[in-house]
Structure 1
């Protein structure tokens, strides 16, 4: 696998430059390989949550890659981590996740040299908004994916999500949450308000991607915890009704971040699912 000339390294973090396209300017994306020496192994590509980044995953992607025997590819979406920040006067559009799935992610794969044969063996591992983007990518490129695991994904807007995101805004502005998130993002206000503003935008309440799931044609595991305060089982049940062959994993505990709060149960479920298909 070749790395494009547009990529540079800084310690174990690399940066890829995506050329301007219609609707966006040039972007710099931070990314990281896990077990890059496993050149023959399939790639597990990780897509983070709405406030996530490479650093916020901590060691979980490596743990899962060890279980699965895969290479890992982790990146920070534009606006997060050390990738190009969102300009403070720019609001994410209602279809921002579709834009990430259909434009930004394919451009990044091109930039780092992940070609079509590699993509056909690739797995997406997406959390929260990253889970939604994974579903949208699987829908848009059904032949260029081996499978997907989506953890606490959103396919429509629930009131529990809006309430929790509104509470997060209060915490960000009145507690030390801003300082805590600042450890993981070069421009923490860009990261937080990009996510918070769009989810609290009244127009976003109509966002719904359930109909798009019908074109997914790869193995799919959807995971949801009972005690998630950002979404309910209705999310993955809607996935099962629309995406043919989707399998569900319902966890009794794990909150909105089972990879952190119920990692053993989650890892067991993912390993069993992938192993049956190996």
Structure 2
């Protein structure tokens, strides 16, 4: 566990070398994710890159301290601008690349576009959201229907979260809030980016279309590399791990010179 200045605690785990020995990859999980939800990916990422890998569960997720409901429409910005910098401080991170999946990708983009943080040398975004598309909202509504129809979804989340009801409703209620959908637009944050991005999306993603990639290519002044994977859905790191690992290795060779952390 990693403690924040306000006394709250975040579940966290390291793989590979510590920040004093090598650069770090900081993993930001998806809307229903946690440390354990990453599965074998962090270990494979550390082995493939030689970097240390830090994953943490956001407040309300995994074994981290709770975050009271309801989560306000700006909760992703709060994570990116307030919690993440404190987490990096507490973990002793020196040089890093942020790697976010889905909501975590959005958090990484917000941080890179709004926080002056010399530690962050780039960001890898897996299936991120920059705007709320119709397909995005429809996917969230399908998740709500499945949650309400049976207990199977709760059973699948229970091994990964101290309070699966909090994790689900925090995410789902926020994304279905009309104020969130109407106000969520990360193009200004992308326009302010000063670090390179690698964005990987599956062509069969049920939460977003390739327009998400095009938005970043048009808006960001920094280098943006995009990779669209045919036949892959919303979790490229699970469905096409070798392609993701290869792309990440190539990206890191450009943005993280070798050397100690």
Q: TM-score range by the shorter chain?
A: over 0.9
Match of 1:223 in 2: 200
TM-score (ref. length: structure 1): 0.87
Q: Check conservation: 1:165, 1:196, Cα contact below 8 A.
A: yes
Q: Displacement of 1:74 after TM fit?
A: 0.6
Aligned residue among 74, 84, 89 for 1:105: 84
Match of 2:191 in 1: 214
Q: Which runs of 5+ in 2 are unaligned?
A: none
For 1:120-160, what per-residue CA distance to the aligned partner results, in whole angstroms no more than 9, with x for missing partners?
Answer: x2110000000000001111235421111000000110110
Match of 2:110 in 1: 136
Query: Hey, what's the Cα distance between the residues in 2 that align with 1:263 and 1:132?
Result: 20
Query: Hey, what's the Cα distance between the residues in 2 that align with 1:155 and 1:246?
Result: 14
Query: Hey, what's the Cα distance between the residues in 2 that align with 1:91 and 1:104?
Result: 18
Query: Hey, what's the Cα distance between the residues in 2 that align with 1:235 and 1:255?
Result: 14
Q: Displacement of 1:173 after TM fit?
A: 2.0
Aligned residue among 118, 121, 143 for 1:168: 143
Alignment of 1:267-278 (within 5 A): 267-277=245-255, 278=257
Alignment of 1:148-159 (within 5 A): 148-159=123-134
Aligned residue among 53, 72, 75 for 1:72: 53
Q: Displacement of 1:46 after TM fit?
A: 0.4
Query: Hey, what's the Cα distance between the residues in 1 that align with 2:180 and 2:236?
Result: 26
Q: Which deviates more from structure 2 when the two are superposed, residues 186-195 or residues 247-256?
A: 247-256
Query: Hey, what's the Cα distance between the residues in 2 that align with 1:105 and 1:79?
Result: 15
Q: Which runs of 5+ in 1 are unaligned?
A: 1-14, 21-25
Matched position secondary structure for 2:65: coil
Q: Displacement of 1:37 after TM fit?
A: 5.1
Matched position secondary structure for 1:182: helix
Q: 1:38 to 1:91 in 2, by over 3 A?
A: closer
Q: Displacement of 1:30 after TM fit?
A: 0.6
Query: Hey, what's the Cα distance between the residues in 2 that align with 1:17 and 1:276?
Result: 33
Q: 1:185 to 1:143 in 2, by over 3 A?
A: closer
Match of 1:16 in 2: 2
Q: Which deviates more from structure 2 when the two are superposed, residues 170-179 or residues 93-102?
A: 170-179
For 1:87-116, what per-residue CA distance to the aligned partner results, in whole angstroms no more than 9, with x for missing partners?
Answer: 3xx2111111110000001111222333xx
Matched position secondary structure for 1:183: helix
Match of 1:11 in 2: none
Task: Kindly tell me the number of residue pairs found equivalent between the two proteins.
Answer: 252
Match of 1:23 in 2: none
For 1:176-220, what per-residue CA distance to the aligned partner results, in whole angstroms no more than 9, with x for missing partners?
Answer: 111111110000000000000011111111211111111111121
Aligned residue among 151, 160, 167 for 1:191: 167
Q: Which runs of 4+ in 1 moved over 3 A?
A: 36-39
